[in-house]
Amino acid sequence: MAGYVRSPRPRDVPGFAEAVAAGVTPSRPSQPPSLLPGTSAHQALVRCGGVLAGAATLVAAAVAFGPTKGSHETVPSLLILLGATAVGIGAMIAAIRRFRRVLLAELAVGYVTTTFYQGLFWMVQGPGPRVGNDVVGWVWDGVWVLTSAGDVVASPDPAVDPPGFYPSPNTPSQLELWTGSQWTGVHRNAPSALA
């Protein structure tokens, strides 16, 4: 991802030890953690696919059942098509936000239930005036990988910093999302004890 620091690793960033001591970095339990209640990240990602398919079907139906060219019903049909498109986009945004929220909650307690290697699911805000959608690479080696039922798929490698929020090498006094391989430019305010 051009424009972002791929290194240093989180453990090499000033403030890392203090963040670990304050408990604001992702945890890495020695045993597989219990699943959080509710929807898993894997289930939320599958739902994103279902919402996308449903939205596409809704728009296709609005196009297929619309009037023919030259019909006096063109304007109402266009409004239905625009409405269907807006509903589909809104549902997809909501599904992506839910996936993001669940994924970050899983990472915070030391596991993940879905693994993907390229991700494009939020606006990336980089240092300076640059804002855009960027695909980021994810590495899951530093975190427990579990099924949605809680069975272990892979255990974490202690030499790899797990994905999650750490003191930022790019923006002091902020936490930045680390994907296991690179910094994303997605920030959170650091707790006042670290600022």
Cα 123 from chain centroid? 10
Is residue 99 domain-shared with residue 118, that is, in the same domain?
Answer: no
Domain endpoint, select from 86, 108, 130: 108
**Do 96 and 133 fall into the same domain?**
no
Q: Could you give the CA distance from residue 119 to residue 115 in angstroms, rounded to a whole number?
A: 10
In this structure, the answer to whether residues 158 and 125 fall within a common structural domain is yes
The secondary element (H helix, E strand) that includes residue 92 is helix 74-108
- Domain residues for the domain of 117 are 1-27+111-195
186 and 120: one domain?
yes
Task: Report residue 89 as tokens.
Answer: 């986009």
Question: What pLDDT band is residue 123 in, cutting at 50, 70 and 90?
Answer: very low
Round to whole Å and give the CA distance between 116 and 103.
11
Write down the pLDDT at residue 119: 60
Q: What whole-number percentage of the chain has pLDDT above 70?
A: 81
Which residues are CB-contacts of 147 (< 8 A; sequence separation ≥ 6)? 42, 113, 153
pTM for this one? 0.77
Instruction: Please give the tally of structural domains in the chain.
Output: 2
Residue 32 lies in a domain: no
Joined together, the tokens standing for residue 65 give 């059942």
Q: 101 and 116, same structural domain?
A: no
pLDDT > 70? residue 193? no
Q: Is the pLDDT of residue 23 over 80?
A: yes
